[in-house]
């Protein structure tokens, strides 16, 4: 049961349960650590993750730094390749080829975006699908589309959002309506396919959808990934729904001082929390799950390479 409390106007307002993404991510990381140690003990295989970053974008370096650090904490062999901005397409392709051929590396991640002179698509598609821990290879997209979750790898953010859905509703979503707002290859499409695979009745809505609020109101599980700050209002949310907010938008926050900013999601959190049963915050919701699922994909890939049954998340 969600906690309830009295609103300022004296009426009782039921507030949703707020999912703690950091806590769920920490539990995923605990499973990864245990599975990494068990694999090493049983097969003598240490899971290995290689992260490639090209250029000197500070935000990308911060992301990659936390990925490499978390990989070490999980007990992985963690390799970071930091390449100069003038790296050529051929140099980058050669590095991916050498990591494809390296048996001690089970996961390869090329941090995006790449500098403008590099073409990311052929690089991503040159990663061996079984080492594509970002789940961006067309083979992995295709396996998800046909419901093959046993041999494919699922991209990290939808995989993380799905952990929240499973912990709220269980494995079987039969009879539940799910609406995913957003149709990107990176998130909306794989998220919809994961929900469908779990037997939800799935609608993919987007900027061209007619009467988006009423489509959203039909959702027992509403997933927002539109990239528009606080677009999903309380009256878009069905009472009792589970709301997963995948947006990360930086907006001006003059209340914090001149020139200050803050992060908000695609959902108007405070008002939606009065209608939903379960909701994710921004920050601290889906965000922390992305790195955790990268670690999960790496330990899954290492188990498969060693012929062992991987853990489930
Ligand atoms: N840049 C920002 N997020 C990601 C991600 O999840 N994967 C890759 N490869 N690059 C990113």
CB 224 within 8 A of CB 181: yes
User: Which of 70, 71, 111 for a ligand 1 pocket mutation test, highest count of atoms within 8 Å of Cβ?
Assistant: 111
Q: Is 123 in the pocket of ligand 1 (CB under 6 A)?
A: no
Whether 126 and 96 have beta carbons less than 8 Å apart is answered as: yes
| Tens-digit pLDDT string for the chain (313 aa) | 444 444 455 555 669 999 999 999 999 999 999 999 999 999 999 999 999 999 999 999 999 999 999 999 999 999 999 999 999 999 999 999 999 999 999 999 999 999 999 999 999 999 999 999 999 999 999 999 999 999 999 999 999 999 999 999 999 999 999 999 999 999 999 999 999 999 999 999 999 999 999 999 999 999 999 999 999 999 999 999 999 999 999 999 999 999 999 999 999 999 999 999 999 999 999 999 999 999 999 999 999 999 999 999 9
Q: Is the CB of 112 under 6 A from ligand 1?
A: yes
Q: Is the distance from the beta carbon of residue 111 to the nearest atom of ligand 1 less than 6 Å?
A: yes
**Same fold for the domain at 43-140 and the one at 155-289?**
yes
Residues 82 and 266: their CA atoms lie apart, in Å, by 33
Q: How far is CA 312 from CA 23, 129, 150, 166, 299, in A?
A: 17, 19, 10, 12, 10
CA distances from 26 to 23, 52, 74, 290, 295 (A): 5, 24, 11, 12, 11
Whose tokens are 């790195």? That residue is 291
Q: Which ligand 1 atom sits closest to the C-alpha of 155?
A: 6
In the three-class reduction of DSSP (H, G, I as helix; E, B as strand; rest coil), residue 24 is classed as helix
- Which of 67, 131, 143, 238 is an active site residue? 67
Task: Give the tens place of pLDDT for each residue, 89-122.
Answer: 999 999 999 999 999 999 999 999 999 999 999 9
162 lines ligand 1 (CB under 6 A): no
- Give me the catalytic one of 111, 131, 132, 266: 111
Please identify, by atom number, the ligand 1 atom nearest to the C-alpha of residue 290. Answer: 6
248 lines ligand 1 (CB under 6 A): no
Sequence length of the chain is 313
Query: How is domain 43-140 classified at the architecture level of CATH?
Result: 3-Layer(aba) Sandwich (3.40)
Distance 64 CA to ligand 1 centre (A): 9
DSSP state string for 102-168: -TT--EEEE-SSPPTTS-HHHHHHHS-GGGBTT--SHHHHHHHHTT-TTT----HHHHHHHHHHHHH
Over the stretch 270-289, which tens digit does the pLDDT of each residue have? Answer: 999 999 999 999 999 999 99
Cα of 62 from ligand 1 centre, angstroms:
12
Q: Please state, in angstroms and rounded to a whole number, the distance separating the CA atoms of residues 262 and 282.
A: 10
Q: Is the Cβ–Cβ distance between 249 and 229 less than 8 Å?
A: yes
Query: Is 56 a catalytic site residue?
Result: no
Is the beta carbon of 132 within 6 A of some atom in ligand 1?
A: no
Maximum CA extent, the chain: 67
Q: Is 156 in the pocket of ligand 1 (CB under 6 A)?
A: yes
CA angle 75, 151, 202 (to 5 degrees): 110
| Catalytic residue flag (residue 238) | no
Cα Rg of the chain (Å, integer): 20
Residue 112 Cα to ligand 1 middle (Å): 5
Q: Whose CA is nearest to atom 11 of ligand 1?
A: 112
Phi, psi (degrees; rounded to nearest 5) at 77: -75, 120
Catalytic residue among 80, 131, 132, 134: 134
**Would you list the domain boundaries of the chain?**
43-140, 155-289
57 is catalytic: no
Residue with CA nearest ligand 1 atom 3:
112
**68 CA to middle of ligand 1, Å?**
13
Cα distance between residue 213 and residue 268, in whole Å: 13
List the structure tokens of 38.
Answer: 């068990």
Residue nearest to atom 1 of ligand 1 (CA): 112
Of 287, 269, 286, 245, the closest CA to residue 15 belongs to: 269
155-289 belongs to which CATH class?
alpha beta
| Interatomic CA distance for residues 183 and 197, integer angstroms | 17
**CA distances (Å), origin 269, targets 5, 81, 275:** 17, 39, 10
Q: Is the dihedral of CA 146, 150, 155, 158 positive or negative?
A: positive
Q: Is 24 in the pocket of ligand 1 (CB under 6 A)?
A: no
Model pTM? 0.94
- Contact criterion met (CB below 8 Å) for 106 and 79: no
């Amino acid at each position: 049961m969600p906690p309830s409390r009295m609103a300022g106007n004296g009426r009782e307002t039921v507030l949703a349960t707020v999912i703690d993404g950091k806590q769920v991510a920490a539990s995923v990381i605990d499973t990864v650590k245990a599975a990494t140690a068990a694999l090493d003990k049983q097969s003598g295989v240490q899971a290995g993750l290689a992260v490639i970053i090209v250029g000197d974008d500070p935000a990308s370096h911060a992301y990659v730094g936390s990925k490499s650090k978390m990989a070490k904490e999980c007990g992985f062999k963690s390799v970071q390749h930091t390449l100069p901005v003038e790296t050529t397409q051929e140099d980058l392709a050669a590095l991916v080829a050498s990591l494809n051929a390296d048996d001690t590396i089970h996961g390869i991640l090329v941090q995006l975006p790449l500098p403008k002179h590099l073409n990311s698509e052929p690089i991503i598609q040159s990663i061996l699908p079984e080492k594509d821990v970002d789940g961006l290879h067309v083979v992995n997209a295709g396996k998800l589309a046909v419901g093959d979750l046993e041999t494919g790898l699922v991209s990290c953010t939808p995989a993380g959002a799905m952990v929240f859905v499973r912990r709220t509703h269980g494995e079987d979503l039969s009879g539940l309506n799910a609406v995913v707002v957003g149709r990107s290859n990176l998130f909306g499409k794989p998220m919809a396919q994961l929900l469908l695979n779990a037997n939800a009745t799935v609608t993919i809505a987007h900027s061209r959808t007619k009467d988006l609020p009423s489509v959203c109101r039909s959702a027992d599980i509403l997933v927002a990934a539109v990239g528009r700050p606080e677009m999903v209002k309380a009256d878009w949310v069905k009472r009792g729904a589970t709301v997963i907010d995948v947006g990360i938008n930086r907006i001006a926050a003059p209340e914090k001082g001149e020139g200050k900013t803050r992060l908000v999601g695609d959902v108007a959190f405070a008002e939606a929390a009065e209608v939903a049963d379960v909701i994710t915050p921004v920050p601290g919701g889906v965000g922390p799950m992305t790195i955790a699922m990268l670690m999960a994909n790496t330990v899954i890939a290492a188990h498969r390479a060693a012929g062992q049954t991987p853990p489930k998340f």
